[in-house]
Amino acid sequence: MRRDGDSEKPCVLLIDPIPSWIVDRAREEFDLIVLGHESERSPLFTENLDRIRGIAMPGFAKVDAAMMQLLPNLEIVACFGVGYDGADTTYAAANNIAVTNTPEVLTDCVADLGMALILATLRKVVVGDRYVRAGRWTKEGFMDLTDSPRGRRLGIVGLGRIGLELANRAEAFGMSIVYYNRTERDDVSYPYYENAVALAEACDVLALTCPGGEATRNLIGAEVLAALGPKGYLINIARGTVVDEAALVTAISEHIIAGAGLDVFADEPNVPEALFPFEQVVLQPHQASATIETRTAMGNLTIDNLRAQFAGQPLPNQVA
Ligand code: 8YV
């Protein structure tokens, strides 16, 4: 069904959250239908299923086979993010639907937040802030000493673009690097471990920068956390699904590990409340790429990919 004032602009379903200024820019080129969440079924959506040629969405939105089957003329799923674990790439590939992402433009900001979480957990930055605000400095004096990153080993799970940038930052803070990947890299000299347990045993801080999805689901469970040990920290800037959250709650509450810095969770925005009482945990609302500069660049790239598809040109960032 065509609405009044519709032009010949290609119709794109946009699933929030995507910054408003990107949505405004996208409207200039596409006839947008906006959903607050992929599960929403607004009349505008349900009445225009056969007009939708593209989807723009955060990479974690669940655009599965059932969703894509609703859209007979779907050509492209453009993910706003480097991760595209929400899109069913198998179905997309089998049905000639392209999937794109926004790599590189977010690498620095995501690595920055990874480093910030390492510093925040080891140096107890957030604990210190609460300590001052609660008036404890005046009453109790200085707080307990903290852990220095210098001299500690950072174990990176998934040494891709973001992992490498995190490694660079950590080296500047005096940390040494070890890693585990699906395959060993031949372009780095960092020691390689063949699985997550061996890596956790070998490091002091275990940072997750690998993709989400089924291949890494619950990769970090009780055994890995036990191997990390009571002086070890877990940092997650990848996907919440990579960690068995029940095992993490146990590891934190029973001091099996020293602490955790977490930006991502399995069921966002729901964070396991069992973690809330623990000061050794630093929690963030999935904001590693959330700077104005990076989100603008991600939005522009998402639009570039959609535009290229509708113009019949090669896609800048096709992943499936
Ligand atoms: C989100 C991310 O996509 O790039 C990723 O994979 O997780 C983020 O950048 C972004 O938060 C979208 O809302």
pLDDT digits (tens, 9 = 90+) for 42-89: 999 999 999 999 999 999 999 999 999 999 999 999 999 999 999 999
pLDDT value at 4 more than 80: no
* Whole-structure pTM value: 0.96
Predicted local distance difference test score (pLDDT) of residue 6? 53
Q: Among 85, 289, 291, which residue has the most ligand 1 atoms within 8 Å of its CB, making it the best to mutate?
A: 289
Q: Whose CA is nearest to atom 2 of ligand 1?
A: 81
What rounded mean pLDDT belongs to the chain? 97
Beta bridge partners of 208: 157, 236
The Cα–Cα gap between 310 and 72 comes to 16
Q: Whose CA is nearest to atom 8 of ligand 1?
A: 81
pLDDT digits (tens, 9 = 90+) for 159-177: 999 999 999 999 999 999 9
The Cα–Cα gap between 243 and 281 comes to 15
pLDDT digits (tens, 9 = 90+) for 252-306: 999 999 999 999 999 999 999 999 999 999 999 999 999 999 999 999 999 999 9
Q: Which residue has the tokens 């596409």?
A: 30
For residue 244, which amino acid is it?
D
The Cα–Cα gap between 30 and 26 comes to 6
Q: pLDDT-derived band of residue 18, with 50, 70 and 90 as boundaries?
A: very high
Q: 282: exposed, middle or buried (C-beta count within 10 Å: 0-12, 13-18, 19+)?
A: buried
pLDDT value at 139 more than 80: yes
Q: Among 80, 209, 292, 295, which residue has the most ligand 1 atoms within 8 Å of its CB, making it the best to mutate?
A: 80
pLDDT value at 137 more than 60: yes
The Cα–Cα gap between 232 and 122 comes to 10
For residue 90, which amino acid is it?
T
**Quick check: is 150 catalytic?**
no
The Cα–Cα gap between 142 and 122 comes to 17
If one counts every other C-beta atom within 10 angstroms of the C-beta of residue 65, the result is 12
Domains in the chain: ranges and CATH:
11-104+292-310 (3.40.50.720), 107-283 (3.40.50.720)
Q: From ligand 1's centre to the CA of 138, what distance in Å?
A: 41
The Cα–Cα gap between 50 and 256 comes to 53
Q: pLDDT-derived band of residue 8, with 50, 70 and 90 as boundaries?
A: confident
Q: Which of 171, 268, 279, 293 is catalytic?
A: 268
pLDDT value at 3 more than 90: no
**Quick check: is 286 catalytic?**
yes
Q: What's the average model confidence in pLDDT over 95-112?
A: 98
* Listed residue (222, 216, 226) closest to 158, CA to CA: 216
Q: What's the average model confidence in pLDDT over 178-201?
A: 98
Atom from ligand 1 closest to the CA of residue 110: 9
Q: Whose CA is nearest to atom 9 of ligand 1?
A: 81
pLDDT value at 2 more than 90: no
Q: Among 57, 161, 286, 294, which residue has the most ligand 1 atoms within 8 Å of its CB, making it the best to mutate?
A: 286
The Cα–Cα gap between 230 and 130 comes to 24
Predicted local distance difference test score (pLDDT) of residue 174? 98
Q: Which residue has the tokens 């995507």?
A: 18
Q: Where are the beta strands (DSSP E) in the chain?
A: 11-15, 31-35, 52-58, 76-80, 98-100, 153-157, 176-180, 205-208, 233-236, 259-262, 281-283
**163: Cβ below 6 Å to ligand 1?**
no
Give the Cα-Cα-Cα angle 241, 147, 263 (nearest 5 degrees). 25
Q: pLDDT-derived band of residue 143, with 50, 70 and 90 as boundaries?
A: very high
pLDDT value at 7 more than 90: no
**289: Cβ below 6 Å to ligand 1?**
yes
Q: What's the average model confidence in pLDDT over 241-259?
A: 98
Contact between residue 227 and residue 200 where contact means Cβ atoms under 8 Å apart: yes
